[in-house]
Structure 1
């Protein structure tokens, strides 16, 4: 392997430790403990595991957690009502809706039921607009974590050509906006892009967020490219053929241990941000 691993574990631990210090200071100063509410619909094992992980990390950061688990047959209206209730609860400072939700639910309607002031996962259109226009607001957790990771490894972003593979409203689209705000030239692509490998070969920075295991091949990459694998598939496999890509890239994120820890760390950091903003 020639590429240097761009791991998020240590940086994420530093971020969580700093968030814990701020949470402790806020509680000592005001008596208010930051509280993150997690909402899970159904009993998908992977989603349940993610929620437990986030709750455990919250506790380590001195952030209180409230867990709401709804049955798989929950309707959009019922979920919206629950999210509205949490949005109106002054004891809750941040809200995380674990996604994806069951097929019968209008996910966008559910996201929009979250008060933007409590949208610490950065999933509302208000948060997306803030990212797009460079206004204050919460970043989508995974894209925001990716940017912090690139900064920590001193990756030159200004003037670089970044190719984003994926167009989801909570990952692909916002990470492109954040890269653009940092003066990268951004190309959005996806699984249906014509001659995708040729476009990827022009990239200085590749962000793989397409949701297909081992989708990005090593021979798609320009020698020395920085590869960020934001995918997570069954069997702890990312969206990039890691072994092949590592022979070509200069920096590459592992799966697990790359983007994942950064996502949770930024979520917790933003939960403390929200609590501080909501506490007079």
Structure 2
């Protein structure tokens, strides 16, 4: 039976560390880290994510501000708000919550954010810094994956790592981070032929595709470390018998449950360690976003 890697516990440790650093930063330099968030539209999931970011900021003693804009906001209005936040010395991190409404050019908006305040790590300059191993901001979810592995004392160097998923904000950065830690990395995606042949050789298997139950037990090497980044909401009417029994309480109380891209019940019988969904990588994303904001504030204060 696999050991559970608790993102809830590890993220709480990180937030406590950040909270102490913030106190010292305020005491020594008079600088309180500030995060500015721009939320466009009424997407329910985005509202939850932004609320969680605000809560995280409060927990560690950050200044947090959210500019809420209507769904029909223009690119010019969003760019103007970005410029306002970037011009403020008390806002050290800036992000625009994705997804944006379809009439907005996402790249135009993201590229307008200064790489030095881009705490989401989505700007091409920061992605380029990651490739060239220069100092910059790393996307929070991939950074959280590596931090979890390190804090659990899971060896990365010299291991075979397979990344299933190759998105710009998770898959590719995560593969690069694993490579920078001297893993031998295989990247798989929707066009990969015979996925099982690539996953079964992985000492570390990371999955982020948004397809529930994609990775079954027979696709996992005995003793592998499995990191499930996927998060999928399954309603009661869409659940199979196995899931209905496993998550009976969720379906009875909420009518739905959250699962990852890995069949957890099968995987935990093969893996040596595994992240649960929920409670695995998810909490780490907020913690690493806060850490990026702290780093930005420290740079502003002249601390490297």
Deviations 1:22-70 (A, max 9, x none): 1122222233321101111111111101110110110110001000111
Whole-angstrom CA distance in 2 between matches of 1:188 and 1:77: 37
Deviations 1:127-183 (A, max 9, x none): 111111111111110000100001111212111111111111110000000000000
Whole-angstrom CA distance in 2 between matches of 1:84 and 1:212: 37
Corresponding position of 2:294: 272
- 1:12-161 superposed matches below 5 A: 12-161=11-160
State whether structure 2 residue 265 is matched by structure 1 residue 243: yes
Secondary structure of 2:37 counterpart? strand
* Unmatched runs of 5 consecutive residues or more in structure 2: 234-256
The counterpart of 2:279, out of the listed 224, 242, 257, is 257
Whole-angstrom CA distance in 1 between matches of 2:196 and 2:44: 34
Larger Rg: 2
Shift of 1:212: 1.7
Whole-angstrom CA distance in 2 between matches of 1:250 and 1:240: 15
Moved over 4 A (4+): none
Secondary structure of 1:69 counterpart? strand
Deviations 1:47-102 (A, max 9, x none): 10111011011011000100011112233343233223322222211012222222
* Unmatched runs of 5 consecutive residues or more in structure 1: none
- 1:216-227 superposed matches below 5 A: 216-227=215-226
Whole-angstrom CA distance in 2 between matches of 1:105 and 1:268: 27
Aligned residues: 279
- 1:172-211 superposed matches below 5 A: 172-211=171-210
Shift of 1:229: 0.5
Q: TM-score, normalised by structure 1?
A: 0.95
